[in-house]
Structures are given as structure tokens and as C-alpha cells.
Amino acid sequence: MTIKRQFQGETLTLTLNLWDLAKKGQLKQDVTLIDGDEIIIPTQEIIDIGETRLLSDANFGLSANQEINVAVVGEVYRPGSYRVIPESNTVSGSQGNIRRQPPRLTFAIQLAGGIKPLADVRQVELRRYNRDGSQQIIAIDLWNLLETGNIEEDIILQEGDTIVIPTAASLPSEESEPLANASFAPASMRVSVVGEVRSPGNIEIPPNTPLNQGILAAGGFDKRRANGATIELVRLNPNGTVTRRDIDIDFAQDITEGDNPILKNNDVVIVNRNFLTAASDTLTTIFAPIGALTGFVNFFRLFDNN
């Protein structure tokens, strides 16, 4: 940055490097201003994510107390515009001072409902407009954040930022569980448990809930009617295909892909009837019309007897 100063009829230009002040503590970069000074801060052509984090900690950097408006679009459950409020953390010490944390990318994704199953977290884009109207696109790899803990991928947001979550062509199955546990994943998921359970219908359950717990969340088996040995699991895959499998149920079983798999969003669990219930329901269906006809005939016999 530069400072233009009028001195004895001439314009002096002072060049300062505030990074040396922030990183090295060089106080000579923090000059004293006088009346009439003009401060010029140029636009940075390429945004350095690491520098953005350091800038947020400097007393001349980003304000952590200001609410900002950002947009989140693409593979999230509730795309749109959001007002992001900085988080408050209590600093340890006798004073119990409160320090606000600047709003970050993953927090905005949480506000938008979290990522969808086909979100390409390796190629997230942050679109930011400069004061001169030009746009910068910052590439972000959230998978790198999950694998290495690189906090620089969780970039600090600014007013007017747009976060774009693209659609992945495919998603390796081994990545599903880490993504479901991520802070930017949905806090819950919806599955359907239908058939012979006490409370059939759609239920909200935490991510990584196993099949056994999903059935219990629907009230468990209706013991008089349910086939408690085998259930059906129907799954809509991210590529649009549907898989159906029969699973032998054992509520004492640990989590395994074969007998007690982790449920995924929009799974359908079908609990079928046992043999006796199926036979009884069939007989009821067959004889119900006969019973109705008998009652109809008996009704008219009352008039014949009179």
C-alpha cells in the first residue's frame, strides 16, 4: 500500500508493507498519519487463502463482528442467499472476553442444508467480486480439508461471495462415510420405513445410522404381523440406478455391510408380513365380500318375516 503526502508543495509517496507488520512485527511499517494524507490500497489480483487467514487476525484486517450476505448454489439441499453471523468464542482468562470468529466457507454450507450425495467437494468454487467490478474465482478442495486438516481450504468469507458446489460425475463408495461425517454434511437424513413396524413412514435420523437402529426408530417390528427374519432395503444410487437387497435381521449384530449396513439418505426399508399374517389377510380379502353379501341378504329376510 502507499501513502501520498503533501510536503512543502510536493507530493511524497510512502510505500508500506503491512505484511511485515503483521508477520514480523516491523513497527516502522505502521507510520503516523498527518492531516491530508491519502491512503491507497491496491486490489490483489490473486487471492492467497493463507494470507486471508492471517489478515483476519490482524487489527487492520477483516472485521469479525460484521454480518455478511453470501450465496450458496449447486449440490446443497437449500440453495440460496444467506446472512452469515460470525461465531462467538469465549477467550480463556479471568475477563472471559468474547472473540468472534470470522465466517467461513463450511459454516455457510451448513446454513444451506449441507452437501448432497453427488457434491464434488474437490472442485468447490468461491466467486468474489473486487471493488473494480472484476471477478475472482478461488478453487477450493474440501476433500483436502477432510484428509489433511488443511484449515486454509475453509476460506474466510466476505460480503457478496458466491459458493458453487458442482456435481460429481461419480462418487467412490469409500468416500461416502467420511463425507457423511463432515461438518458441512447435513445434520440428519431422511429414510422411509414401511410395512409391519409400529410407526411406518418417513423418519429423520442422524448420518451413519445402521439399519437396526433405523427400524427401532420406526418403533420396531409389529411382533404379531412382521417377518422379523428378513427385510428389504431399497436404495436410490447417486447415478440414478436402484438396488434392492434382502437382509437377514439380527439386532445384536454389529455394523457390517452384509447384515447391518449404514443407511443412506432416501433409503427405503420394507418390513414384510409373516406367513400367518399374509394368509390371514388373504382370507379376509376373499371372505369379506361374502360376509357383506350375507349381511345384505339377512337384512331383506327381516322384511320377508314381517
Structural domains in the chain, CATH included, are: 1-42 (no CATH), 47-180 (3.10.560.10), 189-273 (3.10.560.10)
- In the chain, DSSP assigns E strands to 2-7, 10-15, 38-40, 68-74, 80-84, 87-90, 98-101, 124-129, 135-140, 162-165, 189-195, 201-205, 230-236, 242-248, 268-271
Whether residue 155 is predicted with pLDDT greater than 60 in this model: the reply is yes
DSSP-assigned letters across all residues of 36-89: T-EEE-PPPSS--HHHHHHHHHSTTS--SS--EEEEEEESBSS-EEEEEPPEEE
Q: What is the pLDDT of residues 180-237, one digit of tens each?
A: 888 898 888 899 999 888 899 999 998 878 899 999 999 988 888 777 778 899 998 7
Nearest in space to 113 (alpha carbons), one of 208, 205, 186:
186
Q: How far is CA 96 from CA 85, 86, 88, 93, in A?
A: 21, 18, 12, 5
Residue with cell 491507497: 40
The whole-number pLDDT of residue 191 equals 94
Direct distance between the N- and C-terminal alpha carbons of the chain, in angstroms, rounded to an integer = 111
For residues 123 and 87, which has the higher predicted lDDT (pLDDT)? 123
Q: Residue 89 and residue 96: Cα distance in Å, rounded?
A: 10
Average pLDDT taken over every residue of the chain: 80
Confidence band for 46, pLDDT divided at 50, 70 and 90? low
Which residues neighbour 23 within 8 Å (Cβ) at sequence distance 6 or greater?
54
Coil, strand or helix: which one is 245? strand
Torsion of CA 107, 52, 39, 135, to 10 degrees: -70
User: pLDDT class for 72, splitting at 50, 70, 90?
Assistant: very high
Sheet holding 10-15, edge to edge: 10-15, 2-7, 38-40
- C-alpha grid cell, residue 2: 502507499
- Beta-carbon count within 10 A of 133 CB: 6
Which of the 8 DSSP states describes residue 224? T
193, amino acid identity: V
AA letter at 260? N
Q: At 178, which helix (H) or strand (E)?
A: helix 176-180
Which amino acid appears at position 176 of this protein? S
**pLDDT range class, residue 69, cuts 50, 70, 90:** very high
What does the alpha-carbon distance between residue 98 and residue 92 come to, in Å, rounded to a whole number?
9
